[in-house]
Structure formats: structure tokens, C-alpha cells
Structure 1
Amino acid sequence: MAALAETPRGVAEGDLLWTPPAAYCALSGVERFRHWVNARNGLDLEDYEALRQWSVDELEQFWGACWDYFDIRSETPYLRVLDRRTMPGARWFEGARLNYAEHLLRREADHPETVVFHHSSELRAPATMRWDELGGQVRILAEQMRKLGVGPGDRVASYMPNVPETAIAMLATTAIGAIWAAASPEFGARAVIDRFAQIKPKLLFAVDGYRFAGQEFPREGEVEQILGSLDSLQHTVWLTYLHPDRPPPAGTIPWGKLLDQPEVPRSGFRYERVGYDHPLWILFSSGTTGLPKAVVHSHVGVLLEHCKVGAFHLGLRPGSRPFFYSTTGWMMWNILLACLLQDAAPVLYDGSPIAPDSGVLWRIAEQARVTHLGISPGFVQVMQKDGLRPRLHYQLPDLEMILLVGSPSTPETFSWLHEAVKPDLWVTSQSGGTEIASAFVGASPTLPVHAGEIQARSLGMDVHVWDEQGQELRGQVGELVVTKPFPSMPLRFWNDEGDKRYRESYFSTWPGVWRHGDFIRINERGGCYILGRSDSMLNRYGVCIGTAEVYRSVERMEEILDSLIVCCELAGGRFFMPMFVKLRPGAVLDEDLRNRIARRLRADCSPRHVPDQMYRVDDIPYTLTGKKMEVPVRKILVGWPLEKAASRDAMLNPSAIDWFVWFRAQNRVMLSS
């Protein structure tokens, strides 16, 4: 391990860090598509921005062009691309009948013996899977599920880790028209029940346990609780993963037995082709407060969106090897498997990204010859403060892109990746969500990269910045809104009568306009900055402050491993804005460090950014998808009971929230008076 590395200094927001070579641009999917669109429509779209503007001005032409360009195969022709530009309720490609899994697996016929998955875990050595192995197991499982009585519209739930068996289960489920829903095994039983009880699954795929950071986590007890709470279940398929030598529980179907069947040839298998409004899967919101939203997506909408994002925004090509660190309960796992649409070979990993050390993911990237790596800015911070410089320890000749996911990224993170990993990397970020199974703003391989900046608004997403009165803002911070429909918007929320919760979540502020709940700024060149959730924005005496600005400044300091800041509105129009910091071992939150934090925030941000008080904590609470729990902490501090403010089973580190409950009790008078 290298000596402790300094955080890069001297880089400013918006500094030019990378310009794509002309040859790289010319070979990219988005550039090929631009030329194809120009030739097909007699247009002269000069660059990405011209293509983007056309894609939102001419929605029907753009998405119809995507249908043809990606050779979407439907059993019946569609009547129209879009029935009306209305949200919610827009209908895309009515009349078409297709299947998402069929499109993911159709490359098998072209080269069955080519590797399609690289996979490893803390329990399994690195291995690969070929296209014919994947397709063959999907067909066997799909037919066995049909024999168990699972069919179109039935819900199939998964409590499985990021291993090939889970991918096979998802593909088999969607191949027969059943509806997939997943929770990763680090979820506690209560969090799983909160999700699956809403949708009443017919079949459950369950695992006996997993290993993370060298520690074993048996899950038999959690599965028993889940089974006892879901009276809709008729079958449970059991994967012995943690202890392969142990027999499965009575009444369950062993995974191996279910798959130990005669081969089902491609020509003899029938995909269930479904209409535009047939559910593909149900993705769940984080559920840190209240019941998680059960977001229903369609085969048609997700297929079009995932073709677009993979080819045009991630820059995938046949033979690409993408590796996005994710659990099965996060939307990025679905995006990873969607890379199959571009004939790419995804890399799956189940385990810790930082144990036994912060080189774990780089060793996997080296071994699998990864081309596209998706990691969180928080992981990059860990590497920086560990002094890791991957370019000195790992051979990464194929790595061309790093995608920063999960939270806003700082200019220093971009710059450090260029310095410590590879100088000619395409380092980029994106922002979207579970609700759209994709991104509103993201990457383009034809655009330059500026420090801390998301490169552009995504194609087909009519993203704008509005103020509180619904007026367009330019170069200023405002609400991220989408003013025209897009195919991957949810069909609905499950069990949401009259779409009440769906409308309240996204359309209650401006009817007919999607308000996502993020604060965003778009500069004159179209670069985007996400400044955090609008419900966690720090409103300091009428001045709005993005938490991302604070974290960027403070977490560059060597003593600080992590931080969290909230603003509590108190009686009499008063505000209390505390900051909580997790320190490096040996560091002390003394008067000197407090003063240096305050000086840095004044210099980097403004005097308004300086907290009223600073407190040391052992850990910062995160959701299972890696987001800081600012809103639940704020609710606890102003008096909400823990059970209403946060769900422990939806947390990555449940014990971290206890300190804030204790803090509220100790400071009740200050926080109430």
C-alpha cells in the first residue's frame, strides 16, 4: 500500500479534465446514431446538444427512431409511438407485444460459446459463464416455474445476493411474463416483509446466507420470518450459498434440483410477449421513513430506455465488460444486467468493496479486464484516505470509463481518479432513480469532462430547472423537473388506488410536470450539478444551501472520514444547523479542528454554510443504497419517534441511528424551546 495520499488540490469546479479523442467519438454509439438519424430524416444535427434538443422537441420521432435503430422485435406492430403528451398516463407503443428477457438473451444465438458473465464473491472463486449456459439455465428454470403454476402477472420475489443464480431467476421470471421484485439479503426481515407483503408474491427465491467483509451472515431465521408473514407464497426455491453442504429446509425446492432437468432448446422455448402496460418488475424506494413505494415498470418502457442508456450514455459496445458495484436491491443491478442488450459481458460480485482492503474492486477489474467501472464517490474517498493509487498496483489497460453513482461527486473525486488510476479515463457521473430505472442527467462519450460536472441532460428526457413559481432558471439552483413524458416512467405504484400516492409523489407541485425532488443547476454549456435532495436542502434564514457543497468542502480534510449536516426549524422561527463528523482514528474534534472546518466552509462556500455546532459520531447512518440519511436524522432531532422517522431494516448500519436518538434526548430543551 502506498503512503497516505494528499487529496488533490488546485482543481476547481468546472475545470476541463478530459476531451474525448476524435476516433473515440466517431466509434461511439451515440455518434453513430446521430449520423443515422440525420441520414434517415434529412436533418443536420451537428452535435450531442442538437441531438438532445431534437430528442425532446420531437419525442415521437426520437423514440420511434430508437425502436428501429435497436431492432426491437414485437409480435404485433404498434399503433403509435405515443398516444398523448400527458403525465401521468402517457401510453407508449400501444399494440406492441414483446418481452424484455427475450431481447436481453437474443445475442446467445450469434455466439453461444462467448463469455457473458464474469462473477466472483467472498464465497466463490472467480469464474465465467457462457451465453449458451446462461440461456440454457434460464429456459430450464422458466419451464419449471410454469409447471409450478407461475404465469403472466404473478409476482416472484427474490431474497438473493449478486450471483448468477439471481440473474437467471430474474430472466426466467420476466421471460414467462411474471413480475420480478427483489430485496438483497442484507435487508432485515421487517424491511423485506414491508416490501413483499404489498405485492403478494406467489414464489420466493431465497438464500441461506452470505459473507461480507469476512463475516458470515446466516439468513435462515430471516427467511423463516418472511415465509411466516407472506400467506400468498405457494413455493420457495432455496439456494444453499453460505453452506452448500447443508440440506435445504423442509418444504422448499432446492435450486439444484429445479435446474437438474433436460435441456430446453431455443427453438422449443416460448417467451411470453406482453403489451405496453404489462408490468416487468417492481422496484422499491428506500423506505427509510414509511412504507417503501412499490414502483411498477413496463417491458416496453424499460427496454427502450435501457437500450438507449447502454449504447448512447454508457458507451457500451459488443465485448465491453461493465462492472457496477451493487446489491440486488438497488436499481444499478438492473442496469448492470441490461448491459446484455449491447452484447456486453457484465461482471458480478457479491462481497465488501473495502475488505480486506480498498483494492478489492481493482483486483476484480484487473482479473476480468473491466472496461466500464461503476463505483460510489464514498468508495473513492476511502481509497484516497487509505493512500491507494491503483495505477501503481493494478494492470488496467482495458479500463476506459468510470461511472460515479449513488451520490453527488466532487471535482476532487474526478481529478483524483485521473491522477491515481489513469490519465486518459472518461470519468463521469449521472443522476436518476429507482422511479425511472435510469438517469435524467448523465454521460456522453462525445463530450468533454469538467471537474465535478455531470456532462449533459439525457436524450429523450426533457429536463429543466424551475424556481418555486415554476419559472425557468439558467445557471441557478432550482428544482429538477421533466415537462414531457418518457417511456420508463412508472406505470403506477402497486396497490395505489387512483394513483393517489404516485401523483402526490411527483405531480402535486405542478400538475402534469414531474418534480423529482432534487436540486439541480445547469450551466451555459449544458453541464449539470445535482446539489442534493430538495427535502434535505439546508434553508438557512431563507438562503438555500446544498448539503453536497458542505460535504465536498469538509470531507477533503484528512481528519474527517465522513460527515452529515441538517438544518432543524425550531419554535419562534429559529434554526439550528448542527454538523456531525466521523473522524479518522486518532483525530480529535478539538477547538483547532472546529475552527479549521469553519474557516474552510467560509472560504469554499460562504459564512451561511458554517454549522452552529459540530459533534463527533462513531458512524454516519446510510440507507441500504448508500445515501446519507439526512431527512430521518432531522426528523429525530425535532422530536419524531425513531419508529416513525426511520426503518432500521432499510439501513446499511442500523446502530448508527441510535446516537442521534440519544442526542435528541440529551438536548431536548435546546431542540424544543
Structure 2
Amino acid sequence: MTSADLLTGSWAPDQDTIDAANLTRFLAWLADTGRGQFDDYHALWTASVADLEWFWEAVWTFFDVAAETAPTATLASTEMPGAQWFPGATLNYVTQAFRHATDARPAMVAAGEDGSTEWSWARLRAETAAFAAYLRSVGVGPGDRVVGYLPNVGEAVVAFLGAASVGATWAVCNQDLAVSGVVARLGQLEPKVLVASDGSVYAGKSRARHAEIDEIRSALTTLTATVVVPRLGEPVEGAVTWAEVLERGAGAELDVTAVAFDHPLWVLFSSGTTGTPKGIVHGHGGVLLEQLKYLTLQLDLTPEDRFLWQSSTSWMMWNMLVSGLLVGATIVLYDGSPTYGRTDYLWQVAAEHGVTVLGAGAGYWLACAKEELHPGRDHSLAALRTIGSTGSPLPASGFRWLQEGIGRPVPVFSMSGGTDVVTAFIGGCPLVPIRAGELNVVCLGVQAEAWVDGRPVVNEAGELVITQPMPSMPVFFWNDDDGEKYRAAYFDKYPGVWCHGDWITVTDRNSVVVHGRSDATLNRGGVRMGSAEVYDAVEGMPEIQDCLVVGVELPDGGYWMPLFVACADGEHLGDELRSRIVAAIRAGASPRHVPDDVIEVSGIPRTMTGKRLEIPIKRILLGAKPFDVLTPSAVDRPELLAEFEGHART
């Protein structure tokens, strides 16, 4: 890789990278076992979607999945929804999580603004066994629900593993979510046990959560026990302490209950911006296979890695981070603000703990780029070998800044998937070059295409669809007995085909550009354009803190495309800045993307996982009342919505 490559943000693997890659080992294994010989990644991908049974049987065998009962088939039915994967198999996610336990390196590092602790594999196993024994002692077994109100601490991982090991189903909410939002999610599950932290530490402040815990306990009427984790060391009346749980289960062996392949492992929740959050249920086996595949073959994670993805417990990336245990990596949990004290604080955490694979939302990388930070100069990042990005499209400028900021060739693997499948449809591959602004491959076993009017297109923007089943597609939605909500979420537009709601371009190089949500796509004169192109042009401007663009179909048949901007501290939108914004969009996107109005607001509200509220804001601009289209607990700053209501055109 040359200095010119650093400036363009591109990356290409050298021979050492190719030789050391897990995927190279997988290709050699396929050849050695007579399963096939493939010259490159695309040839392997083509085979993986041409014969799903062949590919997923190979994944099962390559990873030597530990099953108590062997499956009778690989894929008994390909119908979507309702595909039947590995019927007859019984296993447990937790078994795989401890298969690589070793004294040579820790299982976890629990880092926070107030210090860090290394967890040995022995400690993780002992506490998981103790918590599982406690759950069984209070009557929790297969099919019951155990829920958490927890920040990103080591005990959250233990509580999940303990619940899964007894066959219970896990769900968790981070403590930045309002009580009403917690109850709207966890209350659906009628849980038996709540695990809650007495508080959290964020942005330099300790936040006690006693009142919130009391409210949650009162609302969750099915609870038989509450266990409190001492993040701040403050007791909660009427609850069992974590220390008591460990004392009761001291010396217990980890007893893992084998369950069916599609037995519910956890429930993740939709954002809930427009109603009750949907409970998305994933099975043990599907999660196990998909995350083994993605982390090992796409992200190239190894047992020697230290893996940190900045996330709250409410985001699916926390689940992906925890799954680093499946491959034996040391997972680094970070409980705190990534910008504690200064924007580059997350880089300091990565340096202090020797992180080798570092991931975050695209918004964080862009915030660093805007300040023109130099993490490679200012922090000891010699161990770092891979960057991950997700949450929203990472523009080409973000790729370029990461290469320049680190100052040496490090692959930037952007990924696109979602809570729906708790994995990626499109992501990275260490054998394939990366071009800035593009995701370099469609993931193995994923038949992802861009569709226009029901047909696949190349080098043209279209709807992201998945035409064949994946093991980690939801088993079902919670409280959706007839499957109507599930079908409506993905299969209404194209029956039997998963329509994800993203707008993408598949290039003739087999890479992918993600333009944003398809239901928020801009449509000027019948030409559909991605909002991501506008954000790419504007977000790099130092005067702009955040922005949001929508296209509004007006009742009189007109079309209004406003751009809302929140200015950086000390900046305000004047004629000169407005002109430069328009010029940047015209040059960086196209004249069609130039907004009709540029409007200053004090902030851009987002979901609790950082996504822009394009569709709800569009409805507010058409005259809807904010809390008729949005649930306040699902928005990070609901007080900002009134500003958009003031710009409504009815």
C-alpha cells in the first residue's frame, strides 16, 4: 500500500495478510476435504449461495459445532419465512463460548472511565456456573425469560451466558433508556428474573438507578427475583446482590442444557420509534453459525485478538461483541462515553488494552475526522490491525480519514446488516481490496441483491433484498402468534423474498454502496437518490455538527426537500455558510441533491442506537404530531422534535 492509497482510503491485502487469513485456511480445508477448490472469494461466494446446504454443512463441520444430538439434515425447507435449519440438532451457544478457554489470555477486559478489570476464562466460567445454578434454584428453566437493565459490564455477559446455559431466553436494555422504554420492551416477555446494575458511570458522572429499578420492578409483575450488580456499590432494598449469587453457587460446575437448534436464545428489539418495539427472537443455532462465520471468515477474528466494538447493551453490536468468545478472542467491553474528556478517548482505551480489532458506529469515526485527529500519532496503536464500522453508511471521506489518521495500511471493514438477523448481509473480507465508500463483499451464504421493479440490477441503485434464507433470520416475533407482523416487516413487498428496507448499488466488481434507508430515499423528478450522498457532502464541514435531509411529497402534488443542520458550537447558519453547503452538495453529490431549503435547528434527534429519524420527521413535516408518530422513549432527545413541528407544511 502506497502513500497515495492512504490519501484515497483504498486498501489491498499483502501476501502476508492473505496467507494468515482465516478464510485462506477455510479455502484450503475445503480443497483438502474434497468439498471444492475456489480461485477467489467471489467464486466461493457464488458456490455458497448456489448450494446453501453444501455451504452451511461445511461451516458446521469446519467449526466442529458441538451438538449433543446431530441434525438429520442441513436445510429441510427453504421457505421464507419458516426455513427449517438443522432439524433434530440439539446444542447450546454457551458450549461453544467456552470451547477456547485458556490460561494464556483473558476472556474479557471490562474497561470503563473509572478503571478496568481483566476477567480470566476461569472467572468467567465460575461466575456463569454460579449464576446458572442460582437461576435453577429460583425455578428458571428452558423457555423462561431472564432480562437485564445493565450497562456494558462483565456481569452483563455472565448474566446472558448463565441464562442461555439453562435454556432461558435473554433480553437486555441499557440504562440510558427511559423506564417507559425499558418496560415497553422487557414487559412483553413476562420475565422471571431481572438483573440490574445499581447505576452507571458515563461522561464523568455517576448515575444511581435505584428509583428506575424500583419502577421497573413494579411494572414487571411476573418477576420472582431481582439481582443487583454493584457498579456504584450502593445496595438496592429487597434485591439479591451479585455477591450473594456467587456465594450461593460457589464451586458449581457449569451445567449446560442442550436445546433445539431454533430454541430462543435472546430477544432483540426494534427501535420502537413508531409504536411498541417489536421483539425479534433469534435461535441458538442460527446465531452460533452466522456469528462464527462472520467473525471468523469475514472480520478475520482469531483467538489472539483483542476485540472491542463500542456499543451499548441495547444495540445488536453488543451481541456481536460478546460472540467474540465463540472464536476464543478476548473481548474488550467499554462502559462509558467514547468521547470522555475528548473526542479521541476511545482510541486511548484501544491503545491501553492492546486492541487489535476496533469497531464503532460510523458517526464516531466521522466525529474524529471532523476534528482532524491523529490517533496513530497520539496513541500507541501498534497492535491495531483492523477497523470496523456500522450503524450508518461510512462515506468515502471516513475511509480516507481512518487511513490518514492511523497513518498505515489498516483495512476498514464497513458492514451492513441489522438487529433483524444480528449479523451482516454485506461486510468485509481480508482477501479482497477495499475501495473507499464501498463495502467490499456480500457475505458468504447471503444471496443479497439490488432490485428495481422485482428484478436484480448491477451498477444501479435498488432495494436490498435477500432471496434465500439465512440461519439467523428471526425464529419469530414476540407476541406474533400468527406471524403476521413478521411477514409484514419483510415479505409484504415481494412475497417469499426478504425486503430489508435499504437502498444499495451492487457494482460490477461485486462490491456494494449503501445509500441509506429505501423508505427515506429522495425522489426528485422520478430520480431516486440516497440521503447518504448529502450527508457525505455536508458532514465533513467543520461548521456542521449534524444534519438531516428528507423529501416531502406535499398535498398539492409538490415536492419539498429541506436540509436541517445543527451547527457546531459557536457557529450559526448565515448566507455564506448556506452557500458553501449548497456548493458542497452540488460538487460532492449532484445538482439534483441540492435542497430546497437549508434550515438551522439546535440538534438532530436520533434513535437510541444513533440512527436518523428520517421517516418520522417527514411525517411531522406533513402535519403529524410528534408523539403520534414517535415514542418518546425511543428518541435520544425528544425535546428537539418541536422545532421540526414548527416547519410543518400542511
Change (3 A) 1:12 1:322: closer
Aligned twin of 2:391: 406
Aligned twin of 1:256: 243
**How far apart, CA to CA, are the structure 2 residues paired with 1:655 and 1:215?**
22
Superposed CA deviations along residues 269-308 of structure 1, whole A, max 9, x for unmatched, are 3211001231111010111111111001000111001110
1:54 aligns with 2:47: yes
What letter matches 2:52 in structure 1?
A: L
RMSD: 1.7
Aligned twin of 1:39: 32
1:76 aligns with 2:72: no
1:614 aligns with 2:604: no
**How far apart, CA to CA, are the structure 2 residues paired with 1:471 and 1:118?**
47
**How far apart, CA to CA, are the structure 1 residues paired with 2:18 and 2:5?**
26
Aligned twin of 2:109: 118
Aligned twin of 2:411: 426
Aligned twin of 1:218: 208
Q: Could you tell me whether the CA contact under 8 Å between 2:9 and 2:396 is conserved in 1?
A: no
Q: CA deviation at 1:107?
A: 1.9
1:133 aligns with 2:123: yes
User: More displaced, 420-429 or 335-344?
Assistant: 420-429
Superposed CA deviations along residues 307-357 of structure 1, whole A, max 9, x for unmatched, are 101110111111100110000000000000101111100101111111210
User: More displaced, 374-383 or 36-45?
Assistant: 36-45
Superposed CA deviations along residues 575-607 of structure 1, whole A, max 9, x for unmatched, are 111111111223231111111211221222222
Q: CA deviation at 1:161?
A: 0.5
1:85 aligns with 2:78: yes
**How far apart, CA to CA, are the structure 2 residues paired with 1:216 and 1:620?**
26
Among 496, 499, 504, the residue aligned to 2:480? 496
Aligned twin of 1:99: 92
**How far apart, CA to CA, are the structure 1 residues paired with 2:285 and 2:399?**
35
**How far apart, CA to CA, are the structure 2 residues paired with 1:453 and 1:416?**
15
**How far apart, CA to CA, are the structure 1 residues paired with 2:209 and 2:640?**
22
Change (3 A) 1:657 1:209: farther
Q: CA deviation at 1:35?
A: 1.7
Q: Could you tell me whether the CA contact under 8 Å between 2:105 and 2:330 is conserved in 1?
A: no
**How far apart, CA to CA, are the structure 2 residues paired with 1:523 and 1:12?**
23
Superposed CA deviations along residues 130-162 of structure 1, whole A, max 9, x for unmatched, are 000100110011001100111100011110000
Aligned twin of 2:550: 566
Aligned twin of 1:158: 148
Superposed CA deviations along residues 169-218 of structure 1, whole A, max 9, x for unmatched, are 00000011000011111000111111112111111111222121123333
Q: CA deviation at 1:11?
A: 9.3
**How far apart, CA to CA, are the structure 1 residues paired with 2:62 and 2:194?**
37
Superposed CA deviations along residues 75-128 of structure 1, whole A, max 9, x for unmatched, are 1111000002211111101111000011111222xx246311112112x41221
Aligned twin of 2:171: 181
What letter matches 1:476 in structure 2?
A: E
Aligned twin of 1:596: 580
1:190 aligns with 2:190: no
1:321 aligns with 2:311: no
What letter matches 1:281 in structure 2?
A: W
Q: Could you tell me whether the CA contact under 8 Å between 2:147 and 2:171 is conserved in 1?
A: yes
Q: Could you tell me whether the CA contact under 8 Å between 2:273 and 2:629 is conserved in 1?
A: yes
Q: CA deviation at 1:378?
A: 1.4
Superposed CA deviations along residues 385-404 of structure 1, whole A, max 9, x for unmatched, are 33321112111111000001
Superposed CA deviations along residues 401-440 of structure 1, whole A, max 9, x for unmatched, are 0001111011111111111113211112000000101000
Q: Could you tell me whether the CA contact under 8 Å between 1:91 and 1:276 is conserved in 2?
A: no
1:422-571 aligned at under 5 Å gives the runs 422-467=407-452, 469-571=453-555
Identity score, percent:
39
1:591-670 aligned at under 5 Å gives the runs 591-661=575-645, 663-664=646-647, 668=648
Q: CA deviation at 1:42?
A: 5.1
State the TM-score, normalizing by the size of structure 2.
Answer: 0.97
What letter matches 1:614 in structure 2?
A: V
Q: Moved runs in structure 1, 4+ residues, more than 4 A?
A: 10-13
Q: CA deviation at 1:447?
A: 0.8
1:334 aligns with 2:319: yes
Describe the SS at the equivalent of 2:33. Answer: helix
**How far apart, CA to CA, are the structure 2 residues paired with 1:63 and 1:298?**
16
Superposed CA deviations along residues 240-274 of structure 1, whole A, max 9, x for unmatched, are 313x1x3222x211111111235335xx4321100
**How far apart, CA to CA, are the structure 2 residues paired with 1:175 and 1:323?**
24
1:208 aligns with 2:198: yes
1:354 aligns with 2:347: no
Describe the SS at the equivalent of 1:80. Answer: coil
**How far apart, CA to CA, are the structure 2 residues paired with 1:168 and 1:155?**
15
Describe the SS at the equivalent of 2:426. Answer: strand
In structure 1, runs of 5+ residues without a counterpart are 1-9
**How far apart, CA to CA, are the structure 2 residues paired with 1:543 and 1:89?**
36
Q: CA deviation at 1:554?
A: 1.0
Aligned twin of 1:146: 136
Describe the SS at the equivalent of 2:147. Answer: strand
Q: Could you tell me whether the CA contact under 8 Å between 2:94 and 2:164 is conserved in 1?
A: yes
Describe the SS at the equivalent of 1:529. Answer: strand
What letter matches 2:235 in structure 1?
A: P
**How far apart, CA to CA, are the structure 2 residues paired with 1:16 and 1:107?**
35
**How far apart, CA to CA, are the structure 2 residues paired with 1:269 and 1:578?**
57
Among 221, 227, 243, the residue aligned to 2:217? 227
**How far apart, CA to CA, are the structure 1 residues paired with 2:155 and 2:448?**
37
1:172 aligns with 2:156: no
Q: Could you tell me whether the CA contact under 8 Å between 2:143 and 2:167 is conserved in 1?
A: yes
Aligned twin of 1:6: none
